[in-house]
Amino acid sequence: MGLGSPTSTTAPASQHQQNSLDHCLSRKQFRILCLICVFVLAQVSYMEIYCERVRDLLNPKNKNHLRVREHPLLGPYVEDLSKLAVESFKDINDLIDVGNKAR
């Protein structure tokens, strides 16, 4: 697969990946983390880069092409790209499905 190839680079997750993520994001563990004053936030973004244009696949109403920027400490990022909070692997899979439909 070369640059500019129209094929998707997403792949189905293994059962081990799903179980690991669900375990890390479980409500029980989240409550334990809160008790020791630690907060975990998992977010998902999904974008498409095609013909040097960046599109937000989780916010298809945004027809503007997004800009890639570089933060001096954090490195490259996409300005105004949607970031949606997730609690489980199912949430992530659902958002991938939404993004794939927007392609």
Query: Would residue 44 count as lying in a domain?
Result: yes
CA-nearest of 63, 59, 38 to 101 is: 59
Query: Would residue 5 count as lying in a domain?
Result: no
Q: What is the mean pLDDT of each run of 10 residues along the chain (103 residues)?
A: 51 58 59 60 90 89 84 91 90 92 87
Predicted pLDDT at 1: 45
Between CA 49 and CA 95 the distance in angstroms is 18
Query: Would residue 1 count as lying in a domain?
Result: no
Domain containing residue 84: 15-101
Could you give the number of structural domains in the chain? 1
Query: Would residue 68 count as lying in a domain?
Result: yes
pTM listed for this prediction: 0.60
Helix (H) or strand (E) segment spanning residue 77: strand 75-78
> Angle CA(63)–CA(69)–CA(72) in degrees, nearest 5?
160
Question: Cα–Cα distances in Å, from 58 out to 38, 40, 44, 61, 103?
Answer: 28, 22, 9, 9, 10
